[in-house]
Structure 1
């Protein structure tokens, strides 16, 4: 009896320690990702012509600036597409939830930009293809596809399915949001990068729940694309 009681008391501590290791691993991954991503951006930017108002160059730059992610994403997705959310999943069952997410996502961003009269570094038709196709597809495939799946796999050994999903969604969303601060390297003003980070954290969590509920990567891609379209229009 005493042995079982000791095990029961030790279990939460052991679980917390393992959770700490998962969080530490995610932090190290994000740090290394930021270093590699920033270094690659500087490398590509030094060899790429100024985009200016050219839609062609902006579209090409969208692919070039994310080529290092595509090299990682494509083989894994081809290997296990369903595991990383490349399936229709339960989209039909959760279409009402997705509609609410879409309206909230676009409505909040549009209201903020309209009320503040703000514009963004990505306003302008030349960024249309990059921001509504390349960015949502690549970023969601990486974060809500690869990273979310890896976190869920690690956390399912520590928590029941529901709790592990919540942890994976929030950790993935927080990491996704905070990494937007590094956009200052790309010339984005610090104040805007901070707002971007907060916005990306909030909506990253929303996209995570869309991914988890539907078991599909397509809803997060669509939500992300819709938000970026609103940003471009303003």
Structure 2
């Protein structure tokens, strides 16, 4: 049995491919309904504005969320590609396919929770999404992509999804805490924000070095850079958090580039 193709096709393989398609459909429906395409307030106005760019000290500026377009295109491309007969017995898809389906379900569920649920529910859903994406990155790391399409639609797409959701989870949790904790704690926002970003930097750099993947670092650095823009040029303003976010973006991206180059040298 080869790593690339695994054993012969089974009913479970077909069910897995179908589950990924169903999950993608659910995600797109959730994004459409939750995003307000059929009426209602946009996402940044939901939950009393907690999810807006000015909802907390750790919220990225509005343009940061354009990365979702790239991620959704990648996930749609992945869904079509994995459904091809050639991918039915692919060993990587057998390992990660069900988890990727789960990530798309949670992705769509977050938008539904944001519109129809509570802020704490959105935190729980995005935390679960982050955990599932971390598991996917680990599973994909067990073997190399077979070709450029595999690298683009699987490794790059899942990496961007993981890296961005890492930052989005921090922002979501900060939004919830901002709405929950006493207002007089805002005086300590700089200290808490800098501390959280220091932890995010260590996690992002460690993740890049451990996996040798650049895509998660790119997405995390993107989110951190726009977080810096939000604090340095928007509200709520915080020079300390903004400058720390710039440094964090540079460190995470630098770690990603170094790790990717090292992985390439080792595989050459």
TM-score normalized with structure 2 length: 0.29
TM-score normalized with structure 1 length: 0.32
- Tell which has more relative contact order, 1 or 2 (C-alpha 8 A, sep 6+): 1
